[in-house]
Structure 1
């Protein structure tokens, strides 16, 4: 950048002597400069811009224990004896799930070296062993005081201009990412002058956007936002560094279901499973058992060097009577722990308790609902992936796979605890004929279970009849998939390539979510189901149902969308059975 935009003082004076008037024609004239138009590269505002565009190294602290750099994808780790290849940020969740499988075990993570790391200024170095990594990690400043500002981000593209010492423009550059912006500043000397083409849009940590029209407004926006969120720059990757006030607000905000209880190293989960706990601000807690009986107690909290402690006292629920260490807070979940093999796990259920069943009735009737998962005695009923419910008036519900439609009945009631219940009955589909308890309600997803069993039903809302609800990315993926015939170019389970199992087949993704699968040798065709949806967590999903028999059964899954061109589609799915990813790639022949 210096060689492109920077002129020395000597060169400028020499040019001015030779061409007093002609040099003016070579540069674009700007309005009279002032503080809002130009910035010196060493100014406070410029440093705020650099910090906002810095590379965030805290997202992978579960692996490297350092916020000032991040490991470059892909790399391989061994977690509690399981080897995993990390290709994206989403893969880090797999490590956390393995760690969380047993809350009080000793977790071991080993990195397979060499790896490459990227610093906040996007410089990179290769690390050959654990000792080198630890030495660099010790140089990081933890606790939120590292270089990058994470609570606000630039929305690109942004155009910047460079100037000579006479405030005349010498060049311009358009940047399209944090890395390009940071590298632009890295190529400047301290006294170099720049300006920004306003207005500039920034996005806050909560998703809201603001527009600024000057350097002063930009500096104020960043200053106001830089301490507005928890950047989670410490090594507590689960963001457990919550305050006492935050915990008290959280526990009184919603009802909580008991999911697991262990006392003196003996499981008591069967006895207390799905007891409903309500904490109130006056220190009272009421518990409803599965029959609707109410048990009263008290609660209080205090903060120590160890963290937040929750004290519970009941006359009857003596297994709960301890001062519990708040071990972890996850979205919708609280984990409590006490020495001696004592543990409680609570699940938030803000929206699933409603005395008026009409609320759930209206939600179900708004749109169609696609089956994401059905578990019966813990076994997944894969043949039903992608089937669609339509809940209608007069208690009528239909179930369709795009070709066949069956009709049944549905009723919404409440049980003794006040929990909402969906009762289904289909004459030709007894797998669904249960009273399903609503256990989780999200924007576009409902989860049901059957009390005390490993039965589960998860459905995803699809409002395709309303054009306003059709996602542009979803439409684009669907259009490409419907653009001709496809073959499986790659199918692998972890390190095992099984592509050859699918070479004889061709796939056509047709209307009404019907997938046609043709066996090349015989020309025989069988139907299946395909869908493209955006999950409640924002992820793009491709549902495939190719049946449950033979090699095609491996394709029946709700796949994560990875990438797409006009001739290639890549999908992946995490397999819990072997703790690795399955990869599926379609290409046009």
Structure 2
């Protein structure tokens, strides 16, 4: 999600100390209020706007013009080093590698020319803190409003979440002006679907007309976290799951990881499966790009973890039990990471 906001481009007026990068240079006359303590609120916000600003936040509120010089102090406010920062990645690395009891400093004033021609200045840590907080609040408000629009449109389907049982994988919420129809397997329930802002955070209150295990699972006030343009994460205490938005009929094509085929006439309980035929549904449920993902199939989880004894996914496979778990090694070709999921293949009498 990209949002056009007025960027505050920061020109830092630096004090030249004629020292090499990271070279300790001794004392400097500075007050504690002029420094930024490691893990303070201002420090954490600086790290936040520096951490992949073009990807993690819809806008960078404070955009540093590099290079800049940062000063590092110990607990006695003795200047330990100056560090020349060349880009956001190096700034984040610098911030993440400071000792917990250290502090840092930027030379003020920070000035910039705004689009209307006026000059804007930040003169101390307090003004920097207020500016960053105001920008982050604006960013979060925009995210919340976009998320609110997202929540109240189209169909939502419970997605796959790693490391949980995924009992309701493929369950569908069909929202309609504050009410919802919930479907899972052959069960149809109705209830309310209410959004509310609590201290700037978007919450979704789900209340299904069910006092059984379904209601026990879903009937809570959920904190909403925006993941991407069609996905949000709902969290209540230590419980969390992901839902994906579908604005076409594809949501009905793939509901879970159970795949059925008619058993062979001469061999009851055995059917022919070609796993490549299930690539669309598996990638659709996982919300991954098939062009950058490799799916490898195995009969055992151990083989999937070790990447041994793979099943040829483009050839016919005969199941070894009527209800059989097959394990998939999901490989991300972009970063060489992988994880394992299981699917269920079923040989059905037809």
**TM-score surpassing 0.5?**
no
Higher relative contact order (CA 8 A, sep 6+): 2
- TM-score of the aligned structures, taking structure 2 as reference length: 0.42
- TM-score of the aligned structures, taking structure 1 as reference length: 0.27
